[in-house]
């Protein structure tokens, strides 16, 4: 399952979600401002306190921000 770590109001988070939807990718979005477990997981993954949006498919490899080429590679689009 693809996971996207976001915060409310973040325009790049919304763009990542729209991009995944446009490619028919099923994903679950987590708001790390309100979901402490997701925030901890996002921090563990990236080593950063505050990076959003973060997209991962395996909890190991991830893409920060809206980076189309990197998302395509990560998700084999």
Residue linked to tokens 């401002």: 33
* Interface of this chain with other proteins, residues 24 to 43, rule: CB under 8 A: 32-33
Out of 2, 25, 29, 51, point to the residue binding other proteins (CB under 8 A).
Answer: 51
11 binds other proteins (CB under 8 A): yes
15 binds other proteins (CB under 8 A): yes
Residues that bind other proteins (CB under 8 A): 7, 9-15, 18-19, 22, 32-33, 48-53, 64, 68
């Amino acid at each position: 399952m693809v996971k996207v770590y976001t915060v409310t109001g973040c325009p790049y988070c919304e763009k990542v979600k729209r991009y995944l939807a446009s490619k028919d990718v099923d994903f679950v979005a987590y708001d790390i401002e309100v979901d402490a477990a997701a925030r901890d997981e996002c921090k563990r993954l990236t080593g950063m306190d505050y990076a959003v949006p973060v997209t991962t498919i395996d909890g190991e490899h991830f893409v920060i921000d809206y980076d189309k080429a990197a998302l395509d590679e990560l998700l084999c689009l």
